[in-house]
Amino acid sequence: MSMLMNNEAALAQLSALTKEALEEKLGKREKAGAITAALYNSDMERRKDILLAKNPAGIIAGLCALSCLTGAKKAEIVSPCVADAAVANGLKAAAEKAGLALTLTEDDFVTKTEHRSDLLVSFEELAAIAEKLAGEEPKALYAVGDGDLAEADPAMTVKAFLESQGDVPEDIKGIAVDHAFCPAGALETVTLGQLASRSGVIRVLTGKDCILDRARKEILSLRKKSCGKCTFCREGLYQLQVNMDAVAAGRGKTTNFEMSQEIAEAMLVSCNCSLGDDAGKPVTTMMEYFRDEAEAHVRRKECKAGACLAFLQIYVDPAKCQGAGECAKVCPVDCIEIKPGYTALIESFDCTRCGKCIDACPNGAIVRTAGKVPRNAETAVRLKNAAAAAAGAADADDDEDDGASRSSARAGAARRHRTLRRPGR
C-alpha cells in the first residue's frame, strides 16, 4: 500500500488489535497526556501536509494506535491545511469511524514547551505506523526540488534516488536538505534512511549555486519563521545573518566564520523546537563540507558562482561597443558614461550590478564576470566609426521626452568636464 493513498486497511485492523498486539507490532511507548501531530517547525517546504489530504485513514489509524500505546486521552492535528473543508472532513470522518476524539488546529507551529506532556509526531510517522498495521514496510517520502513527493526504499542511496527522479546535472556539487548541505561525494553512500530528512525535499546544488548565498537564504527563512521565544534561536540567527551578510558584501573576515560556527554549534543544543535545532546547520555544514568555497569570499574576494553581487564586476567590452548609449537609458543609478565618439564606460563604484544594461545592450558588449576586468575595458576608447556614433549619441541626448535618455544626458553632462579614465575601484 502507498503512504500517499488512503489506508482504510490500517483503520479496519485497529478494532481487532489489543494493546499487547500493538506493542508487538510497533514497540512500547512512554505514557503521554495527548498526541499532537504536526510537521516539524523547521519544515518550510510543507510538502508532507499532503498526507492529510491523501491518507486521512492512515493518519487517524496512526493516532489511534499511539493513543492506545501511550494512554493519551486527546489527539490533535496541527496544520494550516485543516482550514480546507475537504481535508478537515476527511480527517473527521476517519476519526468518527475509529471513535477518536480529534481536535483540528489551523497553525503551522508547535513548541515543545506548549506540548510538554504530549507525544509530538509527524504526519509521516503516523502514515508509517498505518503501513505497519496493514502489514507493509513503510517507505521513505522524498522529492527532488519542486517535484512531487515519491516513495522510495529507505536503503536506496541518495544518488540512486536523484537518478530515478531525472537527470542529475554533471556539475552537481552537493545537495541542500532541511537547511543543511551534503557534498556530492557522499551521495553515493548515504541512503535516504540515513539522510532522515524532515521535509523530504532534496535540492540539488550545482556550480551555479553559491554556498554562502544559499546559507544566507536558509538563515533568512529560518529567522522569518522563528517565534523568538528562545534567546539562542532569536539572537543566534540574527548574529549568523549579520556575519554572513558581511562576508557576502565583501566586508568579511575569517573571524566572521569562526564566530558563526561557534554560535551555530551552541544553537544545535540550546533551542526549544526543531527550527532552533536546524538553525545552525546552514553554517556548520557549509564550514564542514564547503569551507574553501565559503572562505574564498574572504581570502580571495571571490564568489565562484557569481551570486554574491559584491564580487561581481560589470564592464563594457570595447571591441563590441558601438557607443549609442542604449545601456545608459536603462541604468537606474546613472553610472554609465556616454560620450560621443567613445565607448561606454561604467563607473563601478556606483553600479549596483542589477544587470539591466546587459539586457539592453544590442551588441552584447556588457559583460558580467566574477573574475578580473580586462585592462582595456577600464577606459573609454575612441570608436573607429566615431562620427556615426557621435551622431547617434547626440540624437539620443536630444530626445527630451525620453526619460531614459535624460538619464543618459544627465550622466554625460555631469561628467563632461571629467577625464574618461575610470576612478579607482
Which residues here bind ligand SF4, judged by CB under 6 A? 41, 111, 226-230, 233-234, 271-273, 275-276, 314, 316, 321-327, 330-331, 333, 335-336, 344, 346, 351-357, 360-361, 363, 365-366
Q: Which CB atom, from 60 or from 336, has the smaller least distance to ligand SF4? A: 336
Query: Exposed/middle/buried for 228, CB within 10 Å: 0-12, 13-18, 19+?
Result: exposed
State the nearest-atom distance from the C-beta of 309 to ligand SF4, in Å.
Answer: 9
Nearer to ligand SF4, 53 or 227 (CB): 227
Distance in Å, CB of 318 to ligand SF4, minimum: 9
The distance of closest approach from Cβ of residue 266 to ligand SF4 in the complex, given in angstroms and rounded to an integer, is 13
Shortest separation between residue 338's beta carbon and ligand SF4, angstroms: 6
Of residues 157 and 363, the one with the C-beta less far from ligand SF4: 363
Q: How far is the CB of 20 from ligand SF4 (least distance, A)?
A: 37
- Residue 5 Cβ, how far from ligand SF4 at the closest point, in Å? 33
Query: 46 vs 97, which CB is nearer to ligand SF4?
Result: 46
Q: Whole-number minimum distance, CB 373 to ligand SF4, in Å?
A: 13
| Cell triple for 183 | 557534498
d(CA 366, CA 130): 59
Between 112 and 217, name the residue whose CB sits nearer to ligand SF4: 112
3-state secondary structure the chain: CCCCCCCHHHHHHHCCCCHHHHHHHHCCCCCCCEEEEECCCCCCCCHHHHHHHHCHHHHHHHHHHHHHHHCCCEEEEECHHHHCHHHHHHHHHHHHHHCCCEEEECCCCCCCCCCCCEEEECHHHHHHHHHHHCCCCCCEEEEECCCCCEEECCCCEHHHHHHHCCCCCCCEEEEEECCEEEEHHHCCCCEHHHHCCCCCEEEEEECCCCHHHHHHHHHHHHHHHCCCCCHHHHHHHHHHHHHHHHHHCCCCCHHHHHHHHHHHHHHCCCCCCHHHHHHCHHHHHHHHHCHHHHHHHHHCCCCCCCCCHHHCEEEECCCCCCCCCHHHHHCCCCCEECCCCECCEECCCCCCCCCHHHHHCCCCCEEEECCCCCHHHCECCECCCHHHHHHHHHHHHHCCCCHHHHHHHHHHHHHCCCCCECCCC
Provide, rounded to whole angstroms, the least separation between the CB of residue 225 and ligand SF4: 7
Give 172 or 360: the residue with its C-beta nearer to ligand SF4: 360
Distance of closest approach, residue 326 Cβ to ligand SF4, in angstroms: 4
In the complex with ligand SF4, which residue's Cβ is closer, 25 or 229? 229
Nearer of residues 27 and 424 to ligand SF4, judged by Cβ: 424
Of residues 108 and 163, the one with the C-beta less far from ligand SF4: 108
Q: Which residues contact 295 (CB under 8 A, 6 or more apart)?
A: 254, 257
Least CB distance from residue 378 to ligand SF4, whole Å? Answer: 14
Q: Which is nearer to ligand SF4, 38 or 100 (CB)?
A: 38
- Candidates 180, 357, 115, 295; CA nearest to 347 is 357
For ligand SF4, the nearest residue by Cβ is 276
